[in-house]
Amino acid sequence: MLLSEQAYRKIDKELTKFPSDQKQSAIMAALTIAQDEKNWVSTEVIEDVAAYIGVPPIAVQEVATFYNMFHTRPVGRYTLSVCTNLPCALRDGVKTADHLKQKLGIDFQETTEDGMFTLVEGECMGACGDAPVMLVNNKHMCVRMAGDKLDALVEELRQQGEAA
């Protein structure tokens, strides 16, 4: 078993939401639980989740590689996902991404040397009116992210990461 007992209990809870012949419906939730615990979903974790749910590993692999919120390779402690779709791009989404690239010294799909941050290009987050928009670890949405606000967020996350 690659995950904690608590993670498997959470997956069990998700499985109860679906008929027993539709266990594959819990794949997204199970991958989210695994990624929350491991920070990414390795091939071994994908295989473990598949075995636990009782579906073929390819079914879990397909979900893990289709959705950009799942990380199939190691990422930093904080994943910063910046929306660069057209509405955000028209309201400085690309400028926001460029600011983070310069500040962190990395490009999209790269991780800082200290392992603290990974920068990714995100898809529409449904908050176009609050652009530019970004997500931290696919959980915390940040809106109207201009230079000073970005700098403050990075510093706050860095301090939290160093304190942990």
Residue tagged 């199939």 (tokens):
72
| Contacts for 76 with CB less than 8 Å, ≥ 6 apart | 111, 112, 115, 116, 117, 118
| Number of CB atoms found within 10 A of residue 107's CB | 11
Annotated binding residue 142 = no
Annotated binding residue 128 = yes
Q: 30 with 11: CB under 8 angstroms? A: yes
| Contacts for 13 with CB less than 8 Å, ≥ 6 apart | none
Q: How far is CA 18 from CA 6, 11, 23, 41, 61, in A?
A: 20, 12, 7, 23, 20
Binding positions for [2Fe-2S] cluster are 83, 88, 124, 128
